[in-house]
Amino acid sequence: MATKKKLVLIGNGMAGVRAIEHLLKLSPESYDITIFGAEPHPNYNRIMLSSVLAGGADMKEIVINDWDWYKENNITLHVGHKITKIDTDRKTVVSNLGIEAAYDSLIVATGSNPFMLPLPGADKEGVIAFRDIKDCETMIDASKQYKKAVVIGGGLLGLEAARGLLHLGMEVNVVHINPYLMDRQLDEAASRMLQRELEAQGMQFLLKKSTASIKGKRRATGLVFSDGSEVDGDLVVMAVGIKPNVDLARLTGIEVNRGIVVNDFMQTSVPDIYAVGECAEHRGIAYGLVAPLYEQGAVLAKHLAGVETAGYAGSVTSTKLKVSGVDVFSAGIFVETPDTKALKIQDDLGGTYKKIVLQDGKLIGAVLFGDTSDGAELFSYIKSGESVAGREKELLLGFSADQLGQSSGGNSRLEAMADDEIICGCNGVSKGTIADAIMNKGCNTVGSIKACTKASGSCGGCKPLVEGLLQIYAGDSIGEPVKEGICGCTTLSRDEIVEEITRMKLMSTKEVMNVLGWHNPEGCSKCRPALNYYLGMLYPEEYVDEKESRITNERYHANIQKDGTYSVVPRIYGGVTSPTDLKKIAEVAEKFEVPLVKFTGGQRLDLLGVKKEDLPKIWEELDMPSGHAYGKTLRTVKTCVGNTFCRFGTQDSMGMGIQLEKAFERLNTPAKVKLAVSGCPRNCAEATIKDFGVVAIDGGWELHIAGNGGVKVRATDLLCIVKTEEEVMEWSSAFLQYYRENAQWNERTAQWVERVGLDAVKQGLENREDRLALKDRLEKALSVTTDPWKQIVETDELRKNFEQLSGAEPVKL
């Protein structure tokens, strides 16, 4: 009999043990298996922790594999052991308690660590995350001695933690920085209903509060907010995201990026060492959801068992929204604007709310609260764009049995799903797997499907879908609502995406698309540029701009023309140039035989008809910053001559314009941005149809916002009047950053202000402390940018990168 190989698993969590489960099925006699777990527990379902706190389950119920399972499979288990050293020469691991184990193959599944806000006092006793059984036990113990808890964050995880603490008999305050709970998923009415529902459960809310520090000496006694107010609490819970646990791998010399870098077979940079789960980074993506981690485990098991496998190619995941026992749904554009009409039904007694938003006879958005049964049907109308004129009230009041089909209306949604679509996100079970269990393995109940596939065996949220699939293949069904997002690739809205990127610290477009469950794993021309912008906006110092995710013109740093040539526009600050620059532009135009040189409406010179292959050399010889005439960024700052020459001028408009343009050049924005400075109210620079306009008056400056001189002309709104140039810079910086952080991708300032309202923008900027914070964030974003052509012309390698990008399939508008 062949000698068994030694397999060691570091980490007793869901991902690593799932790989072992698969391996035991494929090749039960190949390995002697040893598992080290840092927690003193058998393998358990972390997703169910909120149910434990809320009283829906006890600790025993969330165990996936009990103590007997390890014994039955001859697995040596060391719990409460943290591996502190991997000796890659001797092929051994050593625990903090002195246990040493040899390996032929080693799996690192160290998972992730909770992200703790770096607040003063965060290291005090009583400040915890919401991540593992120990955190649950800490909450349970605290509830026996203390009565006041504070949860930072009004998102899904924070509200679930708060509900659990309420069940433990604690008084709970939830702190949320925004005016409404779940404000990125719900409109104000639905958010208020959710708040009332949760207040009825006993939660208390402190909205529009920014935490400055945690008070107390040895133990936390509450929070201090930036406005000086305070709240008492002997337990402070943070649930604000995770980061891969890579400390051991880094110490060992294994290649680490955000996570432990692995290939398609989950191999690390060190021979015979593998990584799987939240600690692993595959093709630049570190997943934070369960389904991808299980798929990784299945591939790794096949590889270790010697079974042929195509390898792991990344995952498409799925999500849904259920907040503290309340179903919510949102899709499309559900915020009303002057161009839309909304119909609403609000039943405060029944706890339900329904709003549909229409534009030009089409359904463009919806919000459902409490009863989400019509979600899928509403979504289909939003997606199709078909006219619903004359049927608006019918949509509002609900779909009849005749419309849906007496016996199979709900089933149609499930029937349309692809076989590889994940039904059970907790356990990574697809529709095809469940269908096979029903049709070929005799599973004809939810219980038997659970036993066979583990679908619905964890949080239970997918049970209606499992029942629906049962009815398709063996009986009646219930559907499950879906949501529409920023494009057809996802069900998530802009705000949901930004929230999840922040919560899970997602750092690439590919990672976002995989972790957040894109239907199309490659994305599309709408979502890829949007994700690239959101990531750069959120993480200006960490995120590496993905050139391949930019639109065509931004890739080539020039405007493509209808004949296939390009337009090159160097930056001319405030429309003010010099004989030297003019001569340089003229010489370059002559040398490269540029067919046309034209003055633009933004007071610059445009070199038209440039060949693509000449672009790098033209920029190199110009040696001038790009005017970004092609980008979603600051285009121009138009100026008049002001009081420097004009007898009517009251201020130095040229100086102000140059100052603004130099301050904001290279700033990435959701859509193009144009500025102007007029030296007097005669407004020769047309500042009142710009995104941000400055008009000089006696003793000060008028600041105007949200103008548009395009197809749909819109005059600006007056934001405020200031006295000094320093105030102009402060307000303009704050406004642009507020726009960057809150507007949708490809939404001009005019559309954005019309959508959110002028009062909302003024309110967001009225506090000077908030303005300075916005200004700081804008300056941080700008501090890491350089002119793109400076990078391209500096090295041969970067020039080659340009050539590769130029040859790639472009993202088109």
Evaluate whether 811 touches 552 at the Cβ level (below 8 Å). Answer: yes
- What is the Cβ-side half-sphere exposure of residue 609, based on CA atoms within 13 angstroms? 10
Evaluate whether 50 touches 160 at the Cβ level (below 8 Å). Answer: yes
> Residue 309 is encoded by which pair of tokens?
């496998």
In this structure, the strands spanning 31-37 and 76-79 are parallel
Nearest-CA neighbor of 547 among 537, 538, 558, 557? 557
Evaluate whether 742 touches 752 at the Cβ level (below 8 Å). Answer: yes
CA dihedral 773, 778, 780, 784 (to 10 degrees): 180
How many other CB atoms are found less than 10 A from the CB of residue 813?
A: 10
Three-state SS letters, 210-273: CEEEEECCCECCEEEECCCCEEECCEEEECCCEEECCHHHHHHCCCECCCEEECCCCECCCCCE
Tell me if 452 is assigned to a ligand binding site.
no
| Dist CA 487 CA 746 (whole Å) | 13
Gyration radius of the chain's alpha carbons: 29
Diameter of the chain measured on Cα atoms: 102
Give the rounded distance of the alpha carbon of 772 from its chain centre.
Answer: 25
| Dist CA 712 CA 24 (whole Å) | 65
- Report the run of H or E that residue 329 belongs to, with start and end: strand 326-332
DSSP string across 573-586: GGG---HHHHHHHH
> Residue 165 is encoded by which pair of tokens?
């603490």
- Sign, CA dihedral 780-783-788-794, equals negative
- Sign, CA dihedral 374-376-377-380, equals positive
Evaluate whether 264 touches 313 at the Cβ level (below 8 Å). Answer: yes
Tell me if 640 is assigned to a ligand binding site.
yes
Return the residue matching tokens 């570190």.
286
Nearest-CA neighbor of 539 among 781, 743, 773, 741? 781
Sheet containing 100-102: give its strands across: 83-87, 92-95, 100-102
Nearest-CA neighbor of 484 among 326, 353, 329, 322? 329
Tell me if 527 is assigned to a ligand binding site.
no
What does residue 339 show for φ and ψ, rounded to 5 degrees?
Answer: -90, 0
| Dist CA 298 CA 291 (whole Å) | 11
| Dist CA 253 CA 233 (whole Å) | 43
356 has which bridge partners? 343, 366
What does residue 207 show for φ and ψ, rounded to 5 degrees?
Answer: -95, 160
Evaluate whether 479 touches 411 at the Cβ level (below 8 Å). Answer: yes
Q: How long a stretch of residues is the chain?
A: 813
DSSP code, position 758: H
- C-alpha pair distances (Å), 755 with each of 121, 169, 183, 580, 767: 39, 42, 15, 45, 22
| Dist CA 489 CA 604 (whole Å) | 39
> Residue 203 is encoded by which pair of tokens?
């939660």
Q: Angle 768-783/758-765 helices, nearest 10 degrees?
A: 90
35 has which bridge partners? 9, 77
Evaluate whether 674 touches 635 at the Cβ level (below 8 Å). Answer: yes
> Residue 488 is encoded by which pair of tokens?
């057809």
DSSP code, position 487: S
Binding residues: 640, 646, 680, 684
Binding residues for [4Fe-4S] cluster: 640, 646, 680, 684
Binding residues for siroheme: 684
